[in-house]
Amino acid sequence: MTIRTIPLDDQDDAARHDDLRILVVGAGVAGLAAAQLLRADGHHPILVERRAPEADDGYMVALMPLADGPIADLGVREEYLARSVALDRFRFRAHSGRSLRTDGLEDVIGRYGDYRGLTRGTLLEVLAGGDAAVTHRTTVTGLDEDPDGLTAILESDGATRTLRVDAAVIADGIGSRTRDLLSGAAPLDRVETGWGGWVVWTPADADSGLGEELWGDDFFVGTYPVPGALGAFVGGPEEETGRRPAAFTDVVRRRLGTVPPRIEDALQAVATAEDPFFWPLADVRAAWWTTRRTVLLGDAAAGFLPTAGIGAGMALESAWVLASHLRDATPETIGEALAAYESAQRPRVETAQDTSRSLARLMFRRGRALATGRDLLLRVLSIATALRPIVRLLADRPALPVRPR
């Protein structure tokens, strides 16, 4: 699986004779998937990424069956299964550390398709398939839309370039710089939870299909399996996580009556890591996704909180639906195609995002009395109940035409 860095001129040359010239900004999950699906349809989208080629695995990803359609259309399902682990159980722990309940996931999520855990870096390699061309270290600094097309100004390795394209897919993340270049940039609805935490890796244990979360008294610890490891998140309110990681993990230990092995491993990993990645828990929602020749995709359109574990899967589904709408579009019909995509996909994405926000309001509560009451609720609140809106989305996924092979 290869993500190949190539000069911008090479991508521009490959796209020169395309009936529909498309610029994709951002080579993360959504942007790479969109570009690869468009390439599978015979297009030559120009894919640019502001960062250098990534050298690490990033964070852990749990992919619900929303990803099955694009994974199948890219022809990478066998590789996807081989490089991920099946997630089949989920455990909630009380604020004291004791186990509250363990729910099976097969009847909740697995009945609709694959539910898998893997690293973000591995997912990008899987999506790349045999080859994915990207121009790294490239930033869009200007967008000028007119009735006949779109002029994009790019800074690539210190040089300024101008590209003329028919449309741009903006997929450069929750803090998108390109989104802000749009005329009348889409207003953003922001949710700031006031919480954040560190992401680290710990050794795998015997429960390779078990995800686990401890909703504590002013803290949160989650562990999620990937092949050969557990991804762990340890966090809390900003005034608490403003401490050094080791000091914060000491506070967590003192508040726990029981420190299960996975939780101890996570706390120890955070405390001893040289520079653990810190994730502020916030989200955004753009008021609109499309103009006549641009479309926001993935986190640039709706950046998810990780509380429902659906953001990456929804980004992949959105890329798949977008590629389907662009399959037969022309420079003259691109506006209608993008508008139809937004009409079809935005309600689904915002339903999933609403669920993530609702869970955040339950998870990120402060005080021992509230934590005790939440423990009582979790005794009767199954994961099927908590994820009911998302289960409805799984049961009613888009029915897209089969991509010609």
In tens, the pLDDT along 293-326 reads 999 999 999 999 998 899 999 999 999 999 999 9
401 within some domain: no
Q: Work out the burial of residue 101: count CB atoms within 10 Å of its CB; fewer than 13 is exposed, 13-18 middle, 19 or more buried.
A: middle
Greater confidence (404 vs 273) lies with 273
Mean pLDDT of 244-249: 93
Enumerate residues 6+ apart whose C-beta is below 8 A from 113: 64, 65, 68, 394
Contact 135, 8 (CB under 8 A): yes
114 within some domain: yes
248 within some domain: no
Q: List, for residues 111-123, the tens digit of each pLDDT value.
A: 999 999 999 999 9
Instruction: Output the domain CATH number for residue 346.
Output: 3.50.50.60
Q: How many domains does the chain have?
A: 1
Res. 405: pLDDT tops 70: no
What pTM, to 2 d.p., does this model score? Answer: 0.95
Max mean pLDDT range (175-184, 236-245, 281-290, 365-374): 281-290
371 within some domain: yes
The tokens describing 48, both together, are 């640019």
pLDDT at 401: 65
405 within some domain: no
Tell me the residue range of the domain where 146 lies. Answer: 3-189+282-395
165 within some domain: yes
pLDDT at 70: 96
Mode of pairing for the β-strands spanning 220-226 and 210-215: antiparallel
The number of helix segments (H) and strand segments (E) in the chain equals 13, 20
User: For all residues of the chain together, what is the average pLDDT?
Assistant: 92
Per cent of the chain over pLDDT 70 is 98
Res. 216: pLDDT tops 60: yes
Q: List, for residues 80-130, the tens digit of each pLDDT value.
A: 999 999 999 999 998 988 998 999 999 899 999 999 999 999 999 999 998
In DSSP terms, which residues pair with 92 in a beta bridge? 101, 213
Mean pLDDT of 37-41: 96
